[in-house]
A and B are shown apart, each in its own frame.
Chain A
Amino acid sequence: MNGGQESRAKEEARWASGMRRAQEGDAAAYRALLTELDGVLRAYLTRVIGEASLAEDGVQETLIAVHKARHTWDSSRPFRPWLMAIARHKAIDMLRRGRNLRDATASHADEERVQMAVEWRADERSAAEENRPEAALEVDRLLARLPDSFREAIVLTKLEGRTVEDAASRAAISTTAMRSRVHRAMRELRRWIEEEPL
């Protein structure tokens, strides 16, 4: 057995033991197991999903799914395939959600892009320049450059006009995180607009 296989076998034994004890109600063992799985899942989901914020959501959902399904792990079988089946399922879920979000965002952007152009350009340009139709296309392009989570934040708060609290609830993140996403998204957009005047 080489080093990699040995460490994998040790990991498997540790996880299986942790879950066995968790099934018996040992909270400390369960906490230690989930803490270790948190890192493993984060690495796996970031690799599969690509986008950090979606992967982070995936980690939380996978941990909750592991908790809900913990009674279904059969201790006579290896733990890793059980865990990875749940993680893969959640990864697919998150990828699908990301794609739906991109579609929804594109659709909103189509509907609202002129309004967006006018609003954003109001910050940057004089009123006389605001109604140039090509500006709308430029904004659309800029929106598409944003990471999905940032674009979602802009769509929910700036296009749909929701409060930060409501937007956070819909995106299943904290209000602080939503406020931060909106702020960072707006900062990115301003920077791009400054670099590439409309």
Chain B
Amino acid sequence: MTAPRGPRLIDELSADLEPVRRPLREDAASALWLAAAWCVVVALAWLSGPFRPGFAGQLIDAPRFALESALGLALGVAAVVGAFSLATPGGRSRGTLWALLIVTVAWVGLLAIGLFAPALAPSSLGMRSGCNIQTLLFSLVPLGAGFWALRRRAVLNRRLAGFCLGAAAGSLPALVMQWACMYDPAHAFMAHLGPGALVAIAGALLGPRLLPRL
């Protein structure tokens, strides 16, 4: 069977046309996803074990640690806004992707500096066994929910949208683990950011499979 073409195609597309319901704007959808994902990740981290004692005070007392945390959160925000922008034809994705790149480099760079001059004294206080697995597991619900939301939109670049969504879903548990688990930049790279990066790669691989081709 061959596809109808020209006027016949237009006739078929416009026949029995139903009203459509517009999805949330990408900024509202991003905010909703971020709020829900944040609640889920924090709740899962809370349920799976205590947070590192004194982490809230460290956020106030150690400006560099607070900056690291802010950059982690900014990465999540930029990544999810990028994912939803890529799911809207003509969306403003270019600036968002640049912002994502910049905050990623800044966060990783700051933690890399921490390998030589850490923001906090490295310690095993609050150490969680299996924090790397937990980072992966905690990202699954946000990742699944994000793909479900993106499937209802029109994604042009499915791989990049999947990568952004994976980066967002992976960065939130990585950030929460920086508060819940022990502080040590080397451990952060291996057990928190590493699994978060794996989720971003998984998102890029899953994007073309899970998101419908336009």
Chain A residues packing against B (C-beta within 8 Å): 22-28, 30-31, 34-35, 38, 56, 60, 63-65, 67-75, 77, 81-86, 89, 168-169, 172-175
Pairwise interchain contact A169-B156, C-beta atoms closer than 8 A: no
Contact between A68 and B214 (Cβ–Cβ < 8 Å)? yes
Give bound CA distance, A84 to B90, whole Å.
Answer: 8
Least CB separation from A176: chain B residue: B2
In the complex formed, the residue of B with least CB distance to A168 is: B2
Residues of B within 8 A of A26 (CB): 17
CA distance A22 to B15 in the complex (A): 11
- Which of A23, A31, A64, A75 meets B19, CB within 8 Å? A23
A169 touches B214 (CB 8 A): no
> B13–A24 contact, CB under 8 A?
no
Q: Does B1 belong to the interface (CB within 8 Å)?
A: yes
* B16: A residues at CB distance < 8 A: 27
Cβ contacts under 8 Å, B19 to chain A: 23-25
Cα A27 to Cα B87 with chains together (Å): 26
User: Cβ of B2 and Cβ of A174 under 8 Å apart?
Assistant: yes
Nearest to A171 among chain B residues (CB) is: B2
| Assembly CA distance A25 to B2 (angstroms) | 27
What A residues does B91 contact at CB under 8 A? Answer: 85
Closest B residue to A69 by beta carbon equals B154
Contact A172–B15 (Cβ < 8 Å): no
CA distance A172 to B5 in the complex (A): 10
Contact B214 A30 (CB under 8 A): no
With both chains docked as a complex, state the minimum distance between the C-beta of A163 and any C-beta of chain B, in angstroms.
14
Contact pattern, B 9-30, Cβ under 8 Å of A = 1, otherwise 0: 1110111111111110100000
Residue B159 at the A interface, CB < 8 A? no
Assembly CA distance A98 to B75 (angstroms): 38
Return the chain A residue nearest B93 by Cβ: A85
- B residues 68-103 near A (Cβ < 8 Å) are 87-91
Among A56, A75, A86, A175, max chain B CB count under 10 A is at: A86
Contact B90 A81 (CB under 8 A): yes
Q: Would B9 and A23 count as touching, CB distance under 8 A?
A: no
* A-B CB contact pairs (8 Å), 19 listed: A25-B17, A30-B13, A30-B17, A31-B10, A31-B11, A34-B10, A38-B10, A63-B13, A67-B13, A71-B22, A72-B22, A72-B88, A73-B89, A77-B90, A85-B89, A85-B90, A86-B156, A86-B214, A172-B2
Contact A63-B17, Cβ < 8 Å, known A72-B153, A168-B2: no
Are B14 and A34 within 8 A (Cβ)?
A: yes
- How long is the Cα–Cα vector from A173 to B9 in the complex, in angstroms? 13
Q: Is residue B3 contacting chain A, with contact meaning CB distance below 8 A? A: yes
The distance from the CB of B17 to the nearest CB of chain A, in whole angstroms, is 4
Q: Are A64 and B9 in contact (CB under 8 A)?
A: yes
Distance of B213 from chain A, by nearest CB (Å): 9
Task: Please tell me which one of the listed residues A23, A56, A65 contacts residue B20 in the complex, with CB atoms under 8 A apart.
Answer: A23
Q: Report the minimal beta-carbon distance from B159 to chain A, rounded to whole angstroms.
A: 13
* A174 CA / B6 CA spacing, docked (Å): 12
* 3 pairs of A and B residues whose beta carbons are closest in the complex: A69-B154, A81-B90, A71-B20
CA distance A68 to B152 in the complex (A): 10
A-B contact sample (7 more), CB < 8 A, given A24-B19, A31-B14, A75-B22? A25-B19, A31-B11, A34-B14, A60-B9, A63-B13, A67-B13, A74-B25
